[in-house]
Structures are given as structure tokens and as C-alpha cells.
């Protein structure tokens, strides 16, 4: 059983789209994605520096575009081999497209709006996020709550991402939980917390013109790790998730319960595959970072896909 994983914000790197644009048809797809997202994704993905693509307005559509370009290169128009798909944070929009719930055009249109709305919300108050790695899970949770922070990403494998004001994060860094490390993340705001509430209404309004389809593959939700059965529910969950925590640990638990045997992380890959080594024991994983890995990825598709 094959799972397709779609990474979230922070996975981007300068020049990451350049090798993909050498493949037939992908440059044309990227131009269409740019028009939908209202951003020059070709320039951002080939020429822009790290600081520019750290900006939420650009990072989010760039990551979703990279995922969908690599998926197009992997399977073309045929997504029938995908049994399960899940995305981390903004990766949920790419996963929705992988599952056929949203068209690629609609996913890029919505992520463009989402990125701009979340950037505006983040500008209201200086906020951020820090990964808390290691330590006792109960003690980590207590320390996060005691500092007025939110456990915005519960990733499993002993990693929780705390989010809140910069002062709250500094206090956690100065007095971390026992046997835990607090690592500041290069993000522009406290995503998946109440600080993002102003963005929710804007993203929801943008969904009014969309007509989502029911998923053709098992589509997992960040809200609780459960599968989503209708396009309407999937879209509503994507909207609400802007200001709610990401439970990637529960998505991984569901994948194990379903019997997933292999997982391919779409570009810009690496983060979720790294987590998978601790959260998906026994599952064969591949981080699809460049076109050079397409043959290996296609072999996994042939061996593990289309089980459902």
C-alpha cells in the first residue's frame, strides 16, 4: 500500500525547481500554477534567495507547486496507484490535489490566497515557532502550556513545535523541559494558533467558488489523522487547519493502521521522510528531491501502489 506525502512550510530551498523544469511539460504547468497563485513561481523557484522564499506569501505556493510538479513527473495524469495521501500543514493542499479533491489550478489558487492571508496575520504581532525535540512528552506539553504557547505541530518521533509570541518562545528556550532541546524555526509567524484566526475567514471566503470532488484515494486530515470521505469536508478541514494544530503523529498512526508499506515524499522532500524513520517503522520511504530519483520512485509505485 502506497502513501504519497506532501511537505509543509520550511522545506523550501533556493533553486529547488530548476531540475524539474528540464522535464517535458513541467515548465508549462508551472506557468499555469503561477497564474493561479498570482506569484512568479518560476523566478521564485529558480533565482530567488533563501530570505525571499522564506516569506509566507511565496513559500506556501512554491512548496505546493513543487509537490505537484514532482507528482506530475512521477505518475502523469494517472493517480490510481496512490492508496493514501497526507500533507503536513500547507501540504494538505497538495495532498487534496493528489487525491483528486481539488484540481491543481484550484489548489494553487487557494494556496496563494492562504499564503497572503497568513502573512498578513503574522504581521500583526511578532510571533514564531520553535521545535522541542526529546524530553518526556507530558513534561514537554506542560512546559509549552505554562509559557502560554500552543503545541502547533505534534509531529511524533519526540518532536513538538511550539508557537506563540517571541517573548513566550524566549522563555521556553531559557528554561527548556528536562532532556529536551528547543530549536527556533525559520518561519514568519505562529502558524496553526489563534494568531492565525484573521486568515481563516479570508481563506474560507475563497473556497466559495470551488467545487471539491470526493477523494479518489484515502485522504488523511491534519486535524485528527482520520480519513476524509467527502470533498466538502476536506475543504472545510483545510480552512479550519489554518488556525488549528497539525497532528502529524495521528496521520502516521493511521497510515500504520491502514497497512501502508511504502511512502514517497514529494518535492521539496526530506523533512517528512526523516520523521518517517521514527514514526513509520517498517515502511519503505523515499524522499523525491530531484528527477534523478524518479526511476526509484516509480519502482516503489509499481511494487506497492494500487492496493486499496
Angle in degrees, 0-180, between the axes of helices 197-206 and 231-240, rounded to the nearest 10: 150
Closest CA to 244 of 195, 207, 201, 208: 195
Pick the CATH number of 2-122+193-304 from 1.10.760.10, 3.40.366.10, 3.40.50.1370, 3.20.20.70: 3.40.366.10
CATH topology match: 2-122+193-304 vs 127-184 = no
Residue partners of 138: CB distance under 8 A and separation at least 6: none
Closest CA to 37 of 90, 83, 86, 89: 90
Residue 47 neighbours by CB distance under 10 Å: 13
DSSP character at residue 2: E
Q: What is the pLDDT of residue 129?
A: 96
Q: What is the pLDDT of residue 236?
A: 96
Pair 81, 306: CB distance under 8 Å: yes
Domain boundaries, the chain: 2-122+193-304, 127-184
Give residue-wise pLDDT tens across range 36-65.
999 999 999 999 999 999 999 999 999 999
Residue 131 neighbours by CB distance under 10 Å: 17
3-state SS, residue 36? helix
pLDDT in tens, the chain (308 residues): 999 999 999 899 999 999 999 999 999 999 999 999 999 999 999 999 999 999 999 999 999 999 999 999 999 878 889 999 999 999 999 999 999 999 999 999 999 999 999 999 999 999 999 999 999 999 999 999 999 999 999 999 899 999 999 999 999 999 999 999 999 998 889 999 999 999 999 999 999 999 999 999 999 999 999 999 999 999 999 999 999 999 999 999 999 999 999 999 999 999 999 999 999 999 999 999 999 999 999 999 999 998 76
- Beta strands (DSSP E) in 127-266 are 127-134, 150-156, 159-165, 180-184, 218-220, 227-228, 246-247, 262-265
Q: What is the pLDDT of residue 79?
A: 82
Give residue-wise pLDDT tens across range 73-118.
999 878 889 999 999 999 999 999 999 999 999 999 999 999 999 9
Instruction: Tell me the pairing of strands 218-220 and 284-287.
Output: unpaired
Q: Cα angle at 16 between 41 and 18, to 5 degrees?
A: 75
Q: What is the pLDDT of residue 87?
A: 98
Catalytic positions are 89, 192
Instruction: Enter the pTM of the model.
Output: 0.95
Q: Cα angle at 240 between 119 and 142, to 5 degrees?
A: 85
CA-CA distance, 57 to 74, in Å (whole number)?
27
Q: Which superfamily does CATH assign the domain made up of 127-184 to?
A: Malonyl-CoA ACP transacylase, ACP-binding (3.30.70.250)
Amino acid at each position: 500500500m502506497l502513501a504519497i506525502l506532501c511537505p509543509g512550510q520550511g522545506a523550501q530551498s533556493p533553486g529547488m525547481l530548476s531540475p524539474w523544469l528540464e522535464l517535458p511539460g513541467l515548465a508549462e504547468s508551472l506557468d499555469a500554477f503561477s497564474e493561479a497563485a498570482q506569484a512568479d513561481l518560476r523566478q521564485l523557484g529558480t533565482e530567488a534567495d533563501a530570505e525571499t522564499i522564506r516569506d509566507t506569501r511565496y513559500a506556501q505556493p512554491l512548496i505546493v507547486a513543487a509537490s505537484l510538479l514532482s507528482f506530475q513527473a512521477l505518475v502523469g495524469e494517472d493517480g490510481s496507484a496512490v492508496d493514501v495521501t497526507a500533507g503536513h500543514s500547507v501540504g494538505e493542499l497538495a495532498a487534496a490535489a493528489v487525491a483528486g479533491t481539488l484540481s491543481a489550478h484550484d489548489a494553487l489558487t487557494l494556496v496563494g490566497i492562504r499564503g497572503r492571508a497568513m502573512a498578513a496575520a503574522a504581521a500583526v504581532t511578532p510571533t514564531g515557532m520553535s521545535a522541542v525535540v526529546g524530553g518526556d512528552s507530558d513534561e514537554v506539553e506542560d512546559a509549552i502550556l505554562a509559557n502560554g504557547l500552543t503545541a502547533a505541530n505534534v509531529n511524533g518521533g519526540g518532536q513538538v513545535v511550539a508557537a506563540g509570541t517571541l517573548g513566550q518562545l524566549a522563555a521556553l528556550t531559557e528554561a527548556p523541559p528536562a532532556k529536551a532541546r528547543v530549536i527556533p524555526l525559520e518561519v514568519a509567524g505562529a502558524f496553526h494558533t489563534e494568531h492565525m484566526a484573521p486568515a481563516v475567514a479570508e481563506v474560507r471566503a475563497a473556497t466559495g467558488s470551488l467545487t471539491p470532488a470526493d477523494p479518489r484515494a484515502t485522504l488523511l486530515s491534519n486535524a485528527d489523522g482520520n480519513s476524509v470521505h467527502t470533498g466538502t469536508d476536506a475543504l472545510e478541514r483545510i480552512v479550519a487547519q489554518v488556525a488549528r494544530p497539525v497532528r502529524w503523529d495521528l496521520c502516521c498512526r493511521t497510515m500504520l493502521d491502514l497497512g501502508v508499506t511504502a511512502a514517497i515524499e514529494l518535492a521539496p522532500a526530506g523533512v517528512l521522510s526523516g520523521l518517517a524513520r521514527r514514526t513509520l517503522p517498517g515502511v519503505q520511504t523515499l524522499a523525491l528531491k530531484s528527477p534523478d530519483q524518479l526511476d526509484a520512485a516509480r519502482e516503489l509505485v509499481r511494487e506497492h501502489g494500487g492496493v486499496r
